[in-house]
Each structure stands twice: as C-alpha cells, then as structure tokens.
C-alpha cells in the first residue's frame, strides 16, 4: 500500500503551482533530484556554449571584442532569396538520404535479428563499420568508385561491355543522397536493431495465429511497432544530413549543386576572415529546423503505451523461418554489406597499399607497399594519438551513456513538467554546424574558471555536449518499449527509484545503452571538427591527426590509420556485444 502511494506520489510530483507543499513533495522524490542534477548538467553543457553562439549571432564583433547589438547577421542570412531554394535542396538531400538509410537499416536489422538467414551474425557485426570511418573517407572512396571519368565501377563496366561511358555519375543529387545514406545507415541500424531485439513477439504471434503470413506480420505488426525507433533514426539522420558538410563538399561542389551548408561555408565559415557572427545566425536557423523535427518526433511517439512491447512476461523475439527465402535474405544483406563495407574498405586498402592512388592496372601489383602501415608502427605521434583517442572513446562514451540513460528515463517516463525541455536542450549544440559549435565551445571554455581549456577534459566535455542526442535516441526508443508494469512491480516490492533504475531498467535498457555506447565509441575514435579547435598541441587525438595528414595529401596514411581504427573498433564492438542482454541469453 505504502509502495503504491509512492508510485502515485511520483506521478503527482508535477510542481504546477509553486506552493511549499508541492515543492516539498517534488523534492522528496529521488527522481526529482535526478532530474535536477541531470537537467542541470545538460542545461549547462548545451546552453553555455550555445549562449556564446546566440550572442555571437546578435553582435557585430568577434567574441572577446566589445561589439554592438545588431540583427544584420540574420538579415544577411535570411533576407537573401537565394537561401530558400538551397534550403529546399538541403531538405531533398536530408529526406532522401535519411529515408534511404532507414530502409537499408530496417531491412538489414530485420534479416539479421529476426530471421534464420545464414551468416546473419557476420552482417550484424560488420554493419557498424562505416560509422568508424571518417565520413570524408567514405565519400572519397565512392568518388573513386563511381566518378564518371575513371571511377573503378564505371571503368570496369566500360572495359567489360565495351560501352563508351560508364552508367553512373556520383556528381548528382542521387549520387549525393546515395553516399550520405550509406554513411548514415549504421546509426539507423544500431537504433532500430536495439529496439527490435527488445521486442515482445506476442502481438506477432497473435497475428500469426489469426492466419497472417511471415511477410504480412513483418509489414503489419513488426515494422509499425518499430515506429519510435524508425522515427528516432530518421530524425537524427535527417538533421545530421542537413548539417553535414563533408559529403556535399566532395560531391555537390564539383557537380555544382549547392546546399545550405555549402552556402554557410561560402558566406561565413570559409570566407576570409571567417564571419563567425554570420555562421552563428545560420546555425540558429538549422537549430530551428532540428527542434521542429524533435517536436514532431515527440508528437508522433507521444502515446508511448502504444509501443510498449517489453512487458513483465518472459519473452524472446522468435526467429522467423524463411525457408528457401533465407538465402535471398542473406544475398540482399550481403549486397548491402558490399555497398556499406566491402567496396569502401577495398578502396581504402588499395589507397593504403599504393604509394599514390591511381586506377589499378597489371603494373600496380609491383607498386604495392606497406610503407603507410610502417609509418603507423614507427611513429610515436601516431601511438600517442591512439592512446588519447582510446581514452576519450571508452571513458567519454561511458560518461555520455550514463547521462543519456538518466535523461532518457526522465524524458520518457517521468511526469515532470519540464522533461520536454530537457530533450530540446540536448539538441541545441547538436544542431549547430560542427565548426560553428567548435568555435562556441572554444569561446565558452577558453576563459572558464576551472582550467579545462587545452586539456583532454575539454575534448571530453565537447564530445558529451555534441553527441548526447545520439545516446539519448538510442536509449529512448528502447525505454519507450519497456512496459511500466516492470517498474511498478519493483516499486510495489519496496525498491526505491535508484534500485529500480539499477536492477530493473538498466538490464532492460541494455540493448539500447550498448547500441548508443557503440555509436559513440566509433565516433569518438575519429571525431575531428570539435576536437580540432580544442585539443592542446601536446595531446593530439586521432581525429586531428587524420585531418592533418589529409590536409597534407597523405591519403595513404589516412587510409591505413582508418583501417587500423576500424579493426580496433570492431574488437571493441564485439566485446561490447558480449555484454549486451540479448547476446548473453
């Protein structure tokens, strides 16, 4: 009875009127304290650097120099009629690549998790690999494969079929969407796969009992139930595509296709001297778009009970026997794997083994060299960078996921009025273009009372600030699926909030937490846009090292280091999956 009252008290802890009694009730709940602490940390992390950027967008002088209040940056950014068709291009690019990535991810997740297709475990392990590679390398690989003049695939078709020109042209809107979709697929895969693993098959079984076939069950039951995860992945990927610059710089620029980020680069970030004030004004626009999508996502998944498929009853998603079709399912997954992993990795391997990249001929075999791998082995700077990045990846991802798990719980489960704000806060730093945010972080922390600037800790702060939404999306979609009855049972048995969280929720959330952790580890191993401005020259992580080598035209070394990072990350992922709930069963 007392325990039941406690449950009710949690639900009624909404401090709608700030009377003493209500504040007292609010503060008596452990979840309120968790909300205050987590909310405080997140508010600080996101608002502090964002405030500098907002301030920057409303002033006419660089940070550190007294300026005047002005709206000129906004007028310049948004009164330009040219900006709007570009925004439309960005939307087509964002919707196209995010949609395609979700289709790829959903198919791959369904085949690898729910069916008995052969080699499914291998597909699952390798699907994450593209997330490990810096996006710029993936884009370059695809240019080498599909450029119209000497792309390897086009050149092979020309040679084999004797046609005049290859059929593919990477320098086009479909080319741009295709490459970005491949870059975004692993993130969507991890989020969707985590939710799929936590699914209770009872609804599916009911449908089957009522005579529905396997495909009908998948289309009418499984995929609709996956809606929170699909929308989470699509929202994240859409915003990520709209604010991405790497792929458009490599593919859109030569194709003379302009998107919003290439305009920001041309007008603000790439101009001389850099116009940070204008970049911040553009960033606020992207932020508004991102927040609109977060709002839509919340609306679409607001009736969370509809998606609760992890209940207190024993469950294990059953494996669908595809019969003879399983080979076709494996074939389809293999095709995706070829596009996502094998082709880019082969190109990178070729780049790493050649003294300079060229279309391979028979003479190429004589030119192969291990020089780039020897460079990794012999250079202490590379070893130090690996050590720094390993620390940042393992420790940073763990800190970020702890915060993400608590924040997700509050936003999805608690009835605290301000919980929606928490989710909006998380998205603020993420929606700014990477370089603009890096400047905001630099301005924010260069003169911070605690001397974190130019230490490894500021990089850690930057990573948590920027990538918390990834962690949150991965966990939230899993929490939405966990039925409340489990927590209620725990509370009825006398457990407090913290022990319920630790003993009931964390084990149930484990697939989502591990998926988020894996995403973050792979990103932190090679992140550079925020790191570049913040690391001290003595403590260089891998991201900036790769960037400098790329800047110096050392593609071979970049590819070699990229491959070694991939190998290390695959080992880390394999270990992490061992600890995942569904694997240990």
Partner 1 sequence: MLKKIMFFLSLFTSIFYAAAFAQAQSAKLIEAAKKEGKAVAYGSLESDTMDAIIKGFQKKTGIEVESWRASATKVMDRSMSEFRAGKPLADVILINDNPLRLMQQQGFFQKYESPTNSEFPKEAIDPFLGPRYRNVIIGIVYNKSVIKPADAPKSLEDLVKPQYKGKIVMPDPTQHTTTMQWVASLYKLMGKEKADKFIRDLAAMKPILVESLLPSAERVATGETPIAITYVKYAYMFGKKGAPLDYVRLPKMMGDGHYIGLASKAPHVNAGKAFIDYFLDDESMNMMAKLGEFVNRKGVLPPLPDADKIGFVEMDDLSAKEFAEKKKEYTQIFLR
Q: Which residues bind partner 1 (CB under 8 A)?
A: 62-65, 143-144, 147, 149-150, 249-250, 253-254, 256, 258, 262, 265-266, 270-274, 276, 355-359, 367, 381, 439, 442-443, 446-447, 453-454, 532-533, 536-538, 548-549, 551-555
**Which of 42, 250 has the CB closer to partner 1?**
250
Torsion of CA 172, 173, 178, 184, to 10 degrees: 130
Between residues 82 and 205, which has the closer beta carbon with respect to partner 1? 82
CB of 173 to partner 1, least distance (A): 17
d(CA 345, CA 215): 33
320 phi and psi angles, rounded to 5 deg: -90, 125
Pairwise CA distance, residues 491 & 559, whole Å: 53
Nearer residue to partner 1 within complex by CB, 476 or 531 = 531
**Which of 270, 312 has the CB closer to partner 1?**
270
Q: Which is nearer to partner 1, 236 or 545 (CB)?
A: 545
Beta carbons of 481 and 310 less than 8 angstroms apart: yes
The two structure tokens encoding residue 443: 């301005």
Helix (H, G, I), strand (E, B) or coil at 365: helix
Q: What is the DSSP string of 382-451?
A: HHHHHHHHHHHHHHHHHHHHHHHHHHHHHHHH---TTHHHHHHHHHHHHHS-HHHHHHHHHHHHHT-SS-
Residue placing its CB nearer to partner 1 in the complex, 466 or 555: 555
CB of 128 closer than 8 Å to CB of 112: no
> Least distance to partner 1 from the beta carbon of 537, Å?
4
Find the shortest distance in angstroms from Cβ 15 to partner 1: 39
Closest to partner 1 by CB, 3 vs 249, is 249
SS3 273: coil
CA distances (Å), origin 44, targets 26, 129, 393, 458, 465: 22, 33, 22, 14, 9
**Alpha-carbon gap, residue 531 to 526, rounded angstroms:** 10
Q: Tell the smallest beta-carbon distance from residue 431 to partner 1 (Å).
A: 21
């Amino acid at each position: 009875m007392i325990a039941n009252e406690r449950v009710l008290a949690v639900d009624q802890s909404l401090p709608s009127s700030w009377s003493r009694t209500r504040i007292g009730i609010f503060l008596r709940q452990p979840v309120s304290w968790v909300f205050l602490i987590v909310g405080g940390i997140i508010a600080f992390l996101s608002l502090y650097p964002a405030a500098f950027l907002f301030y920057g967008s409303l002033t006419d002088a660089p940070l550190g120099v007294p300026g005047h209040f002005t709206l000129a940056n906004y007028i310049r950014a948004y009164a330009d009629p040219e900006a709007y068709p570009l925004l439309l291009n960005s939307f087509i690019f964002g919707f196209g690549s995010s949609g395609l990535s979700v289709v790829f991810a959903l198919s791959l997740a369904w085949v690898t998790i729910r069916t008995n297709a052969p080699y499914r475990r291998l597909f699952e392990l390798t699907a994450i690999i593209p997330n490990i590679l810096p996006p710029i390398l993936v884009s370059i690989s695809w240019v080498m494969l599909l450029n119209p003049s000497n792309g390897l695939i086009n050149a092979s078709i020309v040679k084999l079929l004797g046609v005049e020109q290859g059929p593919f042209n990477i320098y086009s809107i479909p080319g741009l969407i295709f490459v970005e979709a491949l870059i975004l697929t692993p993130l969507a895969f991890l989020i969707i796969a985590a939710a799929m693993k936590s699914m209770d098959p009872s609804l599916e079984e009911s449908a089957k009992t009522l005579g529905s076939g396997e495909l009908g069950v998948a289309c009418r039951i499984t995929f609709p139930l996956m809606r929170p995860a699909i929308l989470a992945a699509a929202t994240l990927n859409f915003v990520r595509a709209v604010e991405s610059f790497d792929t458009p710089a490599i593919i859109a620029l030569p194709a003379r296709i302009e998107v919003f980020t290439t305009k920001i680069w041309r007008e603000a970030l790439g101009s001389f001297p850099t116009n940070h004030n204008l970049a911040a004004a553009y960033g606020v626009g992207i932020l508004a778009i991102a927040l609109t999508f977060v709002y839509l996502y919340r609306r679409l998944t607001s009736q969370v009970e509809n998606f609760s498929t992890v209940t207190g009853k024993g469950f294990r998603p059953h494996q669908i026997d595809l019969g003879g079709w399983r080979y076709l399912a494996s074939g389809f997954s293999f095709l995706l794997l070829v596009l996502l992993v094998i082709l880019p990795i082969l190109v990178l391997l070729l780049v790493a083994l050649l003294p300079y990249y060229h279309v391979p001929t028979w003479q190429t075999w004589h030119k192969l060299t291990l020089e780039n791998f020897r460079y990794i082995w012999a250079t202490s700077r590379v070893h130090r960078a690996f050590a720094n990045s390993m620390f940042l990846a393992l420790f940073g991802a763990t800190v970020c996921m702890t915060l993400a798990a608590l924040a997700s719980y509050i936003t999805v489960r608690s009835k605290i009025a301000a919980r929606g704000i928490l989710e909006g806060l998380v998205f603020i730093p993420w929606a700014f273009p990477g370089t603009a945010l890096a400047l905001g972080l630099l301005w924010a922390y260069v003169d911070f009372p605690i001397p974190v600037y130019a230490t490894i800790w500021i990089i850690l702060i930057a990573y948590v600030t920027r990538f918390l939404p990834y962690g949150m999306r991965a966990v939230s979609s899993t929490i939405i699926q966990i039925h409340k009855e489990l927590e209620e049972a725990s509370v009825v048995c006398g457990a407090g909030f913290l022990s319920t969280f630790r003993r009931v929720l964390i084990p149930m959330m484990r697939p989502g937490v591990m998926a988020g952790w894996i995403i973050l580890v792979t990103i932190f191993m090679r992140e550079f846009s925020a790191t570049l401005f913040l690391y001290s020259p003595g403590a260089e992580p891998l991201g900036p090292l790769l960037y400098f080598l790329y800047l110096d035209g050392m593609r071979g070394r970049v590819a070699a280091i990229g491959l070694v990072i991939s190998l290390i990350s695959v080992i880390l992922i394999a270990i992490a999956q061992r600890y995942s709930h569904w694997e240990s069963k």
